[in-house]
Amino acid sequence: MTQRGTLGVAVIGTGRMGADHVRRISEVISGARVAAVVDVDAERAKNVASGVEGCTAYTEPDAAMAAADVDAVLIASPGPAHESALLAAFERDLPLLCEKPLTPDAASALRVLEAEQRLGHRRVQVGFMRRYDAEYVKLKALLDSGQLGRPLMLHNRHRNASSPPGFTDAMLINDSVVHEMDVTRWLLGQEITAVTVLRPTPSDVAPEGLADPQFVVLETDGGALVDVEIFVNCGFGYQVQAEAVCERGTARIGDGHAMVTNAAGRWGGTIAQDFVERFEEAYDREVQAWVDATRRGEVTGPSIWDGYAAAAVCEAGVRAQTEGRRTEVELIERPALYR
């Protein structure tokens, strides 16, 4: 790790998230600069690099990681490409921020977890950015304070204006509900033990082949019940809401009441249209926290254990969906490195 003033970051994958992280590191946060970008699409990498001073474009992650001015790696390639990039960075003992999912399934997540354990220290922060959202942070602090007593239930709503082409039932779990699976584990400090997926008659607006919306029920080892409405073609915008029901009160976030207008006999506000808008500040805080911790020589935030646990819950979720029954989550015992 560098002791130089500024952390040199290689961003792997320069698509929607990667290009946004390049902008964020270059223009929004402090303490880091983008030294390299990597994309299998050489043109895309070159285009992104051309907008950043001193940034070199590569098509091979390994070549970027070997560069003298690269001190840390941000992975924003598609999930199936994460494992090889993570293992290559471990070879050089480089610190990483890896976008969710850690890897696409529990078996590959376990391989990465074992590889990090062989290093003997944590190297990876996983990109579950809701943990950096101001409202979620407030809810977590309130639950942790014990003021409302023990959380009994969490009600979640996760709605997108429309789903991208080719979105499948499995992606509904792996790409969307995975965020509720992570915040459930984090907010409650409990592991998810079983998943059930129920479906109403699909919306007529849902694309052919996608059962939308769906209703996911999670059970935890602390005896809490969690429900998630996932509706990816709601039409009106991007909405993420959570309500904790506790022994002595409830707490709700995500109503989006930052500004309420009164005009022409109506009152109202606006609804974010996508996750980039809704969670913009959370992404900024997530990357700043990673840069700050890395410069201190520390690793904080969601760990590989969290990435592995989320992958295991997703796997149970997809099985629950396809088999139409309550499915238990299979987890290994939590290793000492992650306790």
Ligand X SMILES: NC(=O)c1ccc[n+]([C@@H]2O[C@H](COP(=O)([O-])OP(=O)(O)OC[C@H]3O[C@@H](n4cnc5c(N)ncnc54)[C@H](O)[C@@H]3O)[C@@H](O)[C@H]2O)c1
Task: Report the alpha-carbon distance of residue 244 to residue 272 in Å, rounded.
Answer: 22
Q: At its nearest, how many Å lie between ligand X and the CB of residue 123?
A: 18
Kindly write out the interface string for residues 53-72 of this chain, putting x where it contacts ligand X by CB under 6 A and - elsewhere.
--------x-----------
Task: Report the alpha-carbon distance of residue 57 to residue 63 in Å, rounded.
Answer: 10
How many residues of this chain bind ligand X (CB under 6 A)?
24
Task: Report the alpha-carbon distance of residue 274 to residue 289 in Å, rounded.
Answer: 23
Contacts of residue 90, defined as CB under 8 A and 6 or more positions apart, other chains included, come to: 115, 116, 119, 123
- Of 13-21, 24-32, 242-250, 255-263, the window that binds ligand X (rule: CB under 6 A) is 13-21
Q: At its nearest, how many Å lie between ligand X and the CB of residue 314?
A: 12
Task: Report the alpha-carbon distance of residue 47 to residue 34 in Å, rounded.
Answer: 14
Q: Is 38 in the site for ligand X (CB under 6 A)?
A: yes
Among 63, 66, 67, 81, binds ligand X (CB under 6 A): 81
- Of 10-18, 146-154, 217-225, 321-329, the window that binds ligand X (rule: CB under 6 A) is 10-18
Question: Which residue, among 248, 90, 262, 253, has the nearest Cα to 158 in the 3D structure?
Answer: 253
Among 24, 100, 158, 185, binds ligand X (CB under 6 A): 100
Output the CA–CA distances (angstroms, integers) from residue 10 to 6, 40, 292, 315, in the order listed: 13, 14, 16, 30
Q: Is 14 in the site for ligand X (CB under 6 A)?
A: yes
Q: At its nearest, how many Å lie between ligand X and the CB of residue 109?
A: 13
- Of 37-45, 104-112, 265-273, 301-309, the window that binds ligand X (rule: CB under 6 A) is 37-45
Q: Strand 225-231 and strand 266-268: pairing?
A: unpaired
Question: Which residue, among 22, 70, 72, has the nearest Cα to 46 in the 3D structure?
Answer: 22
Radius of gyration of the chain, Cα coordinates, nearest whole angstrom: 20
- Of 6-14, 28-36, 200-208, 244-252, the window that binds ligand X (rule: CB under 6 A) is 6-14
Q: Strand 124-127 and strand 96-99: pairing?
A: parallel
Among 2, 6, 15, 168, binds ligand X (CB under 6 A): 15
* In contact, 234 and 159? CB cutoff 8 Å: yes
Nearer to ligand X by Cβ, of 99 and 212: the residue is 99
Q: At its nearest, how many Å lie between ligand X and the CB of residue 223?
A: 29
Tokens describing residue 218: 């999670």
What sign has the CA pseudo-torsion 274, 83, 312, 113? Answer: negative
Nearer to ligand X by Cβ, of 72 and 224: the residue is 72
Q: At its nearest, how many Å lie between ligand X and the CB of residue 141?
A: 22
Interacting residues with ligand X between 117 and 146 (CB under 6 A): 127, 129
Q: Strand 96-99 and strand 192-198: pairing?
A: unpaired
Nearer to ligand X by Cβ, of 151 and 305: the residue is 305
Q: Is 79 in the site for ligand X (CB under 6 A)?
A: yes
- Summarize as ranges the residues that interact with ligand X (CB under 6 A): 12-18, 38-41, 44, 61, 76-79, 81, 99-101, 127, 129, 275
